[in-house]
Amino acid sequence: MLDREGFRPNVGIILLNAHNEVWWGKRVREHSWQFPQGGIKHGETPEQAMFRELEEEIGLRAEHVKIIGRTRDWLRYEVPDHFIKREIRGHYRGQKQIWFLLRMVGRDCDVNLRLTSHPEFDAWRWHDYWVPLDVVIEFKRDVYQQALKELSRFLIRPQTPHRRVEAGGHSDRGPDDCADDVVAANPPALPDAEKAGGNDPA
């Protein structure tokens, strides 16, 4: 579903933990990292699409999160031609997105990357709020920056001391976290061709 200008309606999700770190996912069988996002289906509101994508992509339901804020207007990015499928070139220009800021109220082990038969991510970790800008593919970077900047006004000071980050990028877990959840180590700096979302205009 494209608008008259060739942009596909979409939602983006920035999920925070209690320490104002953001959820950062590694795409299946790739070295690309990004926030959850996905298209808005016909008849859906942005909020309905957000909750559907949240469950499909990372296995969280409405009771696991709290909506903190959302962007006021659509944020748009254009996708370079060489990332666009040949059959939609000339019609598809890119994405227009409403971004939601959520607070995780569930536990880390509530995340389930294998809820569907076609998972989007195969690993994840918590990242400092601004860090993902360094590894986002160039044509998405402005939208990520706009979304993070606009939504940062909703951030509050963490209520508990920041967790110590161990070598390898794993964070200490509190007593309420599950012992068997697996969080990926720090993603390496990626070449432009492999940065987040680089091979998928969606």
For the ranges 7-16, 58-67, 169-178, which has the lowest average pLDDT?
169-178
Evaluate if residue 198 carries a pLDDT over 90: no
Question: β-strands 75-78, 37-39: how paired?
Answer: unpaired
Largest pairwise CA distance in the chain: 53
The mean pLDDT of the chain is: 83
> What is the per-residue pLDDT for 121?
96
Contact between 34 and 136 under an 8 Å Cβ cutoff? The reply is yes
> What is the per-residue pLDDT for 28?
93
Q: What is the 3-state secondary structure (H, E, C) of 162-174?
A: CCCECCCCCECCC
Question: Which of the given ranges, 22-31, 61-70, 79-88, 130-139, has the highest pLDDT on average?
Answer: 61-70
> What is the per-residue pLDDT for 180?
42
Cα dihedral 79, 115, 16, 172, rounded to 10, equals -120
Evaluate if residue 89 carries a pLDDT over 90: no
pTM: 0.79
Q: State mean pLDDT over 42-59.
A: 97
- Return all residues near 77 (Cβ < 8 A) that are at least 6 apart: 94, 95, 97, 139, 140, 142, 143
Query: Higher model confidence: residue 82 or residue 59?
Result: 59
Per-residue model confidence as pLDDT tens digits over 124-169: 999 999 877 777 888 999 999 999 999 999 998 765 544 444 333 3
> What is the per-residue pLDDT for 176?
46
